[in-house]
Structure 1
Amino acid sequence: MAHLDTGEGVKHEPNVVPMIDIMLVLLIIFMIVTPVIAAGFQAQMPQGRNISPREEDQGDIVLGIDRDGKYFLDPGTGKISPVCPLGSTEATCNQDQRLQELLTELYANRIKDKILYFKADQNLEYGRIEEAVQIARLSGVRVLAAVTEELRERSGFLGRIRR
Protein backbone atom coordinates (compact mmCIF):
# COMPACT_ATOMS: atom_id res chain seq x y z
CA MET A 1 0.00 0.00 0.00
CA ALA A 2 1.10 3.40 -0.83
CA HIS A 3 1.23 5.97 1.88
CA LEU A 4 0.78 9.60 0.88
CA ASP A 5 2.68 12.04 3.03
CA THR A 6 0.88 15.38 3.04
CA GLY A 7 3.40 17.02 5.31
CA GLU A 8 0.94 17.32 8.17
CA GLY A 9 2.02 15.31 11.14
CA VAL A 10 0.89 15.35 14.72
CA LYS A 11 0.78 18.90 16.11
CA HIS A 12 2.89 19.32 19.19
CA GLU A 13 1.50 22.73 20.27
CA PRO A 14 -1.46 22.90 22.66
CA ASN A 15 -4.65 24.51 21.41
CA VAL A 16 -4.93 27.66 23.54
CA VAL A 17 -8.02 29.14 21.89
CA PRO A 18 -10.50 27.50 24.33
CA MET A 19 -8.39 28.65 27.29
CA ILE A 20 -8.35 32.23 25.98
CA ASP A 21 -12.14 32.12 25.51
CA ILE A 22 -12.63 31.04 29.12
CA MET A 23 -10.25 33.74 30.41
CA LEU A 24 -12.10 36.45 28.47
CA VAL A 25 -15.45 35.29 29.86
CA LEU A 26 -14.03 35.36 33.42
CA LEU A 27 -12.56 38.82 32.83
CA ILE A 28 -15.94 40.15 31.69
CA ILE A 29 -17.67 38.61 34.72
CA PHE A 30 -15.16 40.18 37.13
CA MET A 31 -15.45 43.56 35.39
CA ILE A 32 -19.22 43.50 35.91
CA VAL A 33 -19.24 42.15 39.48
CA THR A 34 -16.40 44.21 41.02
CA PRO A 35 -18.09 47.66 40.93
CA VAL A 36 -21.25 46.17 42.43
CA ILE A 37 -19.31 44.71 45.36
CA ALA A 38 -17.27 47.90 45.95
CA ALA A 39 -20.35 50.16 45.89
CA GLY A 40 -21.88 48.44 48.90
CA PHE A 41 -18.74 48.53 51.06
CA GLN A 42 -18.94 50.82 54.09
CA ALA A 43 -15.75 51.30 56.10
CA GLN A 44 -16.04 52.10 59.79
CA MET A 45 -13.19 53.86 61.51
CA PRO A 46 -11.81 51.93 64.48
CA GLN A 47 -12.57 53.16 67.97
CA GLY A 48 -9.53 53.90 70.12
CA ARG A 49 -9.16 52.53 73.60
CA ASN A 50 -6.68 54.28 75.87
CA ILE A 51 -5.49 51.95 78.58
CA SER A 52 -3.40 54.71 80.10
CA PRO A 53 -4.43 58.08 78.66
CA ARG A 54 -1.64 60.56 78.09
CA GLU A 55 -2.00 63.97 79.67
CA GLU A 56 -1.62 66.89 77.30
CA ASP A 57 1.50 68.95 77.90
CA GLN A 58 1.43 72.73 77.91
CA GLY A 59 3.45 72.97 74.68
CA ASP A 60 1.47 70.46 72.60
CA ILE A 61 0.14 71.89 69.34
CA VAL A 62 -3.25 70.38 68.46
CA LEU A 63 -5.10 70.68 65.15
CA GLY A 64 -8.80 69.85 65.13
CA ILE A 65 -11.19 69.51 62.21
CA ASP A 66 -14.95 69.56 62.79
CA ARG A 67 -17.57 67.75 60.70
CA ASP A 68 -17.89 70.77 58.38
CA GLY A 69 -14.16 70.67 57.59
CA LYS A 70 -13.28 73.81 59.57
CA TYR A 71 -9.86 73.92 61.24
CA PHE A 72 -9.31 74.71 64.92
CA LEU A 73 -5.84 75.17 66.38
CA ASP A 74 -4.40 75.05 69.89
CA PRO A 75 -0.93 76.59 69.54
CA GLY A 76 0.25 75.07 72.81
CA THR A 77 -1.50 77.47 75.16
CA GLY A 78 -4.42 75.18 76.00
CA LYS A 79 -6.87 77.51 74.24
CA ILE A 80 -8.50 76.22 71.04
CA SER A 81 -9.50 78.82 68.46
CA PRO A 82 -10.70 78.67 64.84
CA VAL A 83 -8.07 79.21 62.15
CA CYS A 84 -10.29 81.75 60.40
CA PRO A 85 -12.15 84.29 62.54
CA LEU A 86 -15.81 83.57 63.25
CA GLY A 87 -18.13 85.09 60.67
CA SER A 88 -15.53 85.08 57.91
CA THR A 89 -16.30 83.52 54.55
CA GLU A 90 -14.15 81.62 52.07
CA ALA A 91 -13.77 84.83 50.08
CA THR A 92 -12.29 86.70 53.05
CA CYS A 93 -10.27 83.87 54.62
CA ASN A 94 -8.74 80.87 52.85
CA GLN A 95 -8.56 78.21 55.59
CA ASP A 96 -5.86 76.13 53.96
CA GLN A 97 -3.57 79.09 53.34
CA ARG A 98 -4.19 80.53 56.81
CA LEU A 99 -3.48 77.15 58.46
CA GLN A 100 -0.21 76.83 56.55
CA GLU A 101 0.83 80.34 57.64
CA LEU A 102 0.04 79.62 61.31
CA LEU A 103 1.77 76.23 61.35
CA THR A 104 4.84 77.56 59.53
CA GLU A 105 5.11 80.35 62.10
CA LEU A 106 4.70 77.92 65.02
CA TYR A 107 7.22 75.34 63.77
CA ALA A 108 9.82 77.69 62.24
CA ASN A 109 11.81 78.21 65.45
CA ARG A 110 10.59 75.18 67.39
CA ILE A 111 13.54 73.22 68.74
CA LYS A 112 11.84 70.84 71.19
CA ASP A 113 9.86 68.72 68.75
CA LYS A 114 7.92 69.05 65.55
CA ILE A 115 4.89 66.97 66.52
CA LEU A 116 1.34 67.97 65.60
CA TYR A 117 -1.49 66.27 67.48
CA PHE A 118 -4.42 65.74 65.18
CA LYS A 119 -8.13 65.41 66.10
CA ALA A 120 -10.85 65.01 63.48
CA ASP A 121 -14.57 64.29 63.51
CA GLN A 122 -15.25 60.65 62.70
CA ASN A 123 -17.86 61.59 60.06
CA LEU A 124 -15.41 63.79 58.15
CA GLU A 125 -14.42 62.73 54.62
CA TYR A 126 -10.90 61.34 54.45
CA GLY A 127 -9.98 63.72 51.62
CA ARG A 128 -10.23 66.69 53.98
CA ILE A 129 -7.94 64.97 56.48
CA GLU A 130 -5.42 64.23 53.73
CA GLU A 131 -5.42 67.92 52.74
CA ALA A 132 -4.65 68.92 56.33
CA VAL A 133 -1.83 66.36 56.52
CA GLN A 134 -0.27 67.77 53.34
CA ILE A 135 -0.53 71.33 54.68
CA ALA A 136 1.13 70.24 57.94
CA ARG A 137 3.98 68.52 56.06
CA LEU A 138 4.58 71.66 53.96
CA SER A 139 4.63 73.75 57.15
CA GLY A 140 7.51 71.85 58.74
CA VAL A 141 5.67 69.28 60.85
CA ARG A 142 7.75 66.10 61.08
CA VAL A 143 5.46 63.83 63.14
CA LEU A 144 1.67 63.63 63.06
CA ALA A 145 0.01 61.97 66.04
CA ALA A 146 -3.65 60.97 65.85
CA VAL A 147 -5.66 61.64 68.99
CA THR A 148 -8.58 59.32 69.68
CA GLU A 149 -11.57 59.73 71.92
CA GLU A 150 -11.97 57.34 74.81
CA LEU A 151 -14.22 54.38 74.01
CA ARG A 152 -17.42 54.64 76.03
CA GLU A 153 -18.64 51.50 77.74
CA ARG A 154 -21.95 50.27 76.40
CA SER A 155 -24.73 49.15 78.63
CA GLY A 156 -26.80 46.06 78.08
CA PHE A 157 -25.84 42.80 76.46
CA LEU A 158 -23.07 44.13 74.17
CA GLY A 159 -21.51 46.09 77.01
CA ARG A 160 -21.14 42.96 79.13
CA ILE A 161 -19.51 41.03 76.29
CA ARG A 162 -16.83 43.63 75.54
CA ARG A 163 -15.57 44.08 79.10
Structure 2
Amino acid sequence: MKGMGMMPQQRRKPMSEINVVPYIDVMLVLLVIFMVTAPMLTQGVKVDLPQTSSDPIQSEKDVESIVVSVDANGAYYLDVGDKGSRPMSLSELREQVSKILSQRSNSEVLVRGDEHVDYGKVVRLMAELQSAGASSIGLITETPRDDE
Protein backbone atom coordinates (compact mmCIF):
# COMPACT_ATOMS: atom_id res chain seq x y z
CA MET A 1 0.00 0.00 0.00
CA LYS A 2 2.90 2.19 0.57
CA GLY A 3 3.75 2.25 -3.11
CA MET A 4 0.33 3.46 -4.06
CA GLY A 5 0.52 6.52 -1.92
CA MET A 6 3.83 7.53 -3.41
CA MET A 7 2.76 7.47 -7.06
CA PRO A 8 0.88 10.52 -8.19
CA GLN A 9 -2.53 9.59 -9.40
CA GLN A 10 -2.94 10.40 -13.08
CA ARG A 11 -6.43 10.95 -14.22
CA ARG A 12 -7.29 10.90 -17.86
CA LYS A 13 -9.25 13.96 -18.67
CA PRO A 14 -12.22 13.41 -21.01
CA MET A 15 -11.57 14.02 -24.69
CA SER A 16 -13.61 16.98 -25.89
CA GLU A 17 -13.13 16.42 -29.63
CA ILE A 18 -15.48 14.43 -31.84
CA ASN A 19 -13.98 12.25 -34.51
CA VAL A 20 -15.88 13.34 -37.66
CA VAL A 21 -14.06 11.15 -40.19
CA PRO A 22 -16.69 8.35 -40.06
CA TYR A 23 -19.46 10.93 -40.54
CA ILE A 24 -17.70 12.35 -43.60
CA ASP A 25 -17.41 8.84 -45.05
CA VAL A 26 -21.13 8.21 -44.55
CA MET A 27 -21.98 11.60 -46.06
CA LEU A 28 -19.90 10.90 -49.18
CA VAL A 29 -21.52 7.49 -49.64
CA LEU A 30 -24.99 9.06 -49.36
CA LEU A 31 -23.99 11.77 -51.83
CA VAL A 32 -22.92 9.16 -54.38
CA ILE A 33 -26.16 7.21 -53.86
CA PHE A 34 -28.30 10.33 -54.40
CA MET A 35 -26.29 11.34 -57.46
CA VAL A 36 -26.85 7.93 -59.03
CA THR A 37 -30.55 7.61 -58.18
CA ALA A 38 -31.70 11.20 -58.89
CA PRO A 39 -31.78 10.88 -62.71
CA MET A 40 -33.84 7.70 -62.39
CA LEU A 41 -36.51 9.49 -60.36
CA THR A 42 -37.23 12.01 -63.13
CA GLN A 43 -40.30 11.10 -65.15
CA GLY A 44 -42.04 12.77 -68.02
CA VAL A 45 -41.08 14.36 -71.29
CA LYS A 46 -38.19 16.78 -71.32
CA VAL A 47 -39.20 19.92 -73.22
CA ASP A 48 -38.18 23.54 -73.31
CA LEU A 49 -41.35 25.30 -72.28
CA PRO A 50 -42.25 28.57 -73.99
CA GLN A 51 -41.94 31.79 -72.01
CA THR A 52 -45.05 33.57 -70.80
CA SER A 53 -44.31 36.77 -72.69
CA SER A 54 -46.65 37.53 -75.57
CA ASP A 55 -43.84 38.45 -77.95
CA PRO A 56 -43.28 35.95 -80.77
CA ILE A 57 -40.12 33.88 -80.78
CA GLN A 58 -37.48 35.25 -83.14
CA SER A 59 -35.88 32.48 -85.18
CA GLU A 60 -32.94 32.57 -87.53
CA LYS A 61 -33.77 33.08 -91.20
CA ASP A 62 -31.79 30.05 -92.44
CA VAL A 63 -33.40 27.58 -89.99
CA GLU A 64 -36.41 25.79 -91.36
CA SER A 65 -39.05 24.74 -88.86
CA ILE A 66 -40.60 21.31 -88.61
CA VAL A 67 -44.23 21.75 -87.59
CA VAL A 68 -46.09 18.72 -86.26
CA SER A 69 -49.87 19.14 -85.90
CA VAL A 70 -52.47 17.17 -83.99
CA ASP A 71 -56.07 17.80 -85.04
CA ALA A 72 -59.19 17.45 -82.88
CA ASN A 73 -59.58 13.78 -83.91
CA GLY A 74 -56.02 12.96 -82.81
CA ALA A 75 -54.51 12.56 -86.30
CA TYR A 76 -50.86 13.55 -86.71
CA TYR A 77 -49.58 15.74 -89.57
CA LEU A 78 -46.05 16.75 -90.53
CA ASP A 79 -45.38 20.11 -92.21
CA VAL A 80 -41.86 20.77 -93.45
CA GLY A 81 -41.28 23.97 -95.43
CA ASP A 82 -43.75 24.29 -98.30
CA LYS A 83 -44.70 20.61 -98.42
CA GLY A 84 -48.29 19.69 -97.70
CA SER A 85 -49.06 17.04 -95.17
CA ARG A 86 -51.22 13.97 -94.84
CA PRO A 87 -52.42 12.09 -91.75
CA MET A 88 -49.84 9.58 -90.49
CA SER A 89 -49.25 7.19 -87.60
CA LEU A 90 -47.06 8.09 -84.66
CA SER A 91 -44.31 5.63 -85.60
CA GLU A 92 -44.29 6.86 -89.22
CA LEU A 93 -44.08 10.44 -87.96
CA ARG A 94 -41.11 9.56 -85.71
CA GLU A 95 -39.25 7.99 -88.64
CA GLN A 96 -39.86 11.02 -90.87
CA VAL A 97 -38.75 13.51 -88.20
CA SER A 98 -35.68 11.40 -87.44
CA LYS A 99 -34.69 11.43 -91.13
CA ILE A 100 -35.18 15.20 -91.37
CA LEU A 101 -33.22 15.89 -88.18
CA SER A 102 -30.35 13.66 -89.32
CA GLN A 103 -29.96 15.87 -92.41
CA ARG A 104 -30.70 19.21 -90.74
CA SER A 105 -29.82 19.00 -87.06
CA ASN A 106 -30.38 22.75 -86.49
CA SER A 107 -34.09 22.56 -87.42
CA GLU A 108 -36.53 23.53 -84.69
CA VAL A 109 -39.54 21.33 -83.94
CA LEU A 110 -42.86 23.03 -83.19
CA VAL A 111 -46.10 21.35 -82.08
CA ARG A 112 -49.54 22.66 -83.04
CA GLY A 113 -52.19 20.92 -80.97
CA ASP A 114 -55.93 21.46 -81.31
CA GLU A 115 -57.59 22.92 -78.24
CA HIS A 116 -59.91 19.91 -77.93
CA VAL A 117 -57.37 17.13 -78.49
CA ASP A 118 -56.68 14.68 -75.66
CA TYR A 119 -53.67 15.75 -73.56
CA GLY A 120 -52.24 12.23 -73.72
CA LYS A 121 -51.97 12.43 -77.52
CA VAL A 122 -49.82 15.55 -77.31
CA VAL A 123 -47.60 14.02 -74.59
CA ARG A 124 -47.09 10.83 -76.63
CA LEU A 125 -46.25 12.99 -79.66
CA MET A 126 -43.68 14.98 -77.69
CA ALA A 127 -42.10 11.78 -76.34
CA GLU A 128 -41.82 10.38 -79.88
CA LEU A 129 -40.30 13.64 -81.14
CA GLN A 130 -37.74 13.53 -78.34
CA SER A 131 -36.83 9.93 -79.21
CA ALA A 132 -36.48 11.00 -82.88
CA GLY A 133 -33.71 13.40 -81.84
CA ALA A 134 -35.49 16.72 -81.27
CA SER A 135 -33.45 18.55 -78.64
CA SER A 136 -36.03 21.26 -78.02
CA ILE A 137 -39.73 21.29 -78.76
CA GLY A 138 -41.82 24.45 -78.95
CA LEU A 139 -45.58 24.80 -78.64
CA ILE A 140 -47.50 27.03 -81.04
CA THR A 141 -50.35 29.03 -79.55
CA GLU A 142 -52.61 31.87 -80.61
CA THR A 143 -53.23 35.10 -78.78
CA PRO A 144 -56.66 35.15 -77.14
CA ARG A 145 -59.35 37.25 -78.78
CA ASP A 146 -61.01 40.09 -76.86
CA ASP A 147 -64.53 38.67 -77.25
CA GLU A 148 -63.82 35.59 -75.09
CA distance in 2, matches of 1:79, 1:150: 26
Q: Normalising to structure 2: TM-score of the pair? A: 0.56
Offset at residue 101 of structure 1 (A): 1.0
* 1:91-125: CA deviation from partner (whole Å, max 9, x where unpaired): xxxx01110111111101224x2421111011111
Q: Which residue identity does 1:101 align to in structure 2?
A: E
RMSD over aligned CA atoms reads 2.5
CA distance in 1, matches of 2:126, 2:74: 13
1:66 aligns with 2:71: yes
1:52 aligns with 2:78: no
* Aligned equivalent of 1:131: 124
* Aligned equivalent of 1:143: 136
1:122 aligns with 2:125: no
Identity %: 21
Offset at residue 55 of structure 1 (A): 7.2
Q: Which residue identity does 1:53 align to in structure 2?
A: P
Map 1:40-119 onto structure 2 (within 5 A): 51-54=54-57, 59-75=64-80, 77-84=81-88, 95-111=89-105, 113-119=106-112
Structure 1 residue runs without a partner (length 5+): 1-47, 85-94
* Compared CA separation, residues 60 and 114, structure 1 to 2 (3 A): closer
CA distance in 2, matches of 1:151, 1:53: 14
Report runs of 4+ in structure 1 exceeding 6 Å deviation. none
* Compared CA separation, residues 78 and 151, structure 1 to 2 (3 A): farther
Offset at residue 65 of structure 1 (A): 0.3
Structure 2 residue runs without a partner (length 5+): 1-50
